[in-house]
Structure 1
Amino acid sequence: MTLHHKWAAVPPIHLVESEADIISDLAWAARDRFPDICQLLLEEVGRASLYAPGKLPDDVVTIGSDVTYRDTKDGVARRVRLVYPSHADVALGHISIFTPIGAALIGMRVGASILWPDRNGHLRDIIIDAVVQAPAT
């Protein structure tokens, strides 16, 4: 069963074309180790609106973004930086896209909410409150 059939309303996803390609490649390469997360990531990439570099709106969560989100269950705001798996460091708040919350955040816009499974398989409703893009290098 796909993500679309599990939950009725899923928000639009926005990705830079090159980032979508990298995420797809990583998900395919890791599908034996992380089958559920990889399936969710591939489904998200498959339904995403794709943008040329420099054309993605600033309020969209991308790799390297600092994101403030709330879980509606506890109302607590959390701030994380979304990163590729090789750069993940929970102590620094650098969360991999291969975590349930990381997969939920990628491509979301400020104000959007989504139901997403946590590590225990329970559905959580998260809302994106703020996105700060990484400085251009």
Structure 2
Amino acid sequence: MSTLPPITVSREDRDKIYNLLDNMPAHDEVAEGLYDELDRAQILEKQAMPDDVVRLNSKARFTNEASGKVYHLKLVMPADMSGDQCVSLLSPAGAALLGLKVGDSIEWPLAGKRLRLQLNTVEA
């Protein structure tokens, strides 16, 4: 990956995500990327999380920089997927968004290509 923006994750979200990842098959590309992200994340208590950072169950408005398409989706655990207004943490876009701050961009591997996302806004 290119230079990665700093990310911030709540201790509660980190623990939920580790629990999910520890029960997944080995060699899952998104899971391996999430382990790397959690390793480099600044971890804060839930009440100390900034309002402009993507966390589980927050709504993110972001742009796919390759297509210019703008999305407004809620980041959820796979078991909480309901309808097309959600993005799973285990999808490339969901994994890439975790912990980003408004204004950040990130590149994430996607089937031999790169997914480049720009975070526009976050709603709790």
TM over 0.5: yes
Instruction: Give TM-score scaled by structure 1 length.
Output: 0.85
Q: Secondary structure at the match of 2:48?
A: coil
Q: Residues of 1 paired with 2:75 and 2:2: CA distance?
A: 26
Alignment of 1:99 with 2:91, yes or no, is yes
RMSD: 1.3
Which consecutive residues of structure 1, in runs of 5 or more, have no partner in the other structure?
A: 1-6
Match of 1:47 in 2: 40
2:89 maps to a residue whose letter is I
Alignment of 1:123 with 2:117, yes or no, is no
Structure with more of its chain in strand, by fraction: 2
TM-superposed deviation, 1:81: 0.4
Which consecutive residues of structure 2, in runs of 5 or more, have no partner in the other structure?
A: none
Alignment of 1:59 with 2:22, yes or no, is no
Judge conservation of contact 1:28–1:38 (CA < 8 Å) in 2. no
How much identity, in percent, do the aligned residues show? Answer: 28
Match of 2:28 in 1: 35
TM-superposed deviation, 1:132: 0.3
Moved over 2 A (4+): none
Q: Residues of 2 paired with 1:121 and 1:65: CA distance?
A: 29
Q: Residues of 2 paired with 1:94 and 1:76: CA distance?
A: 16
Aligned length: 124
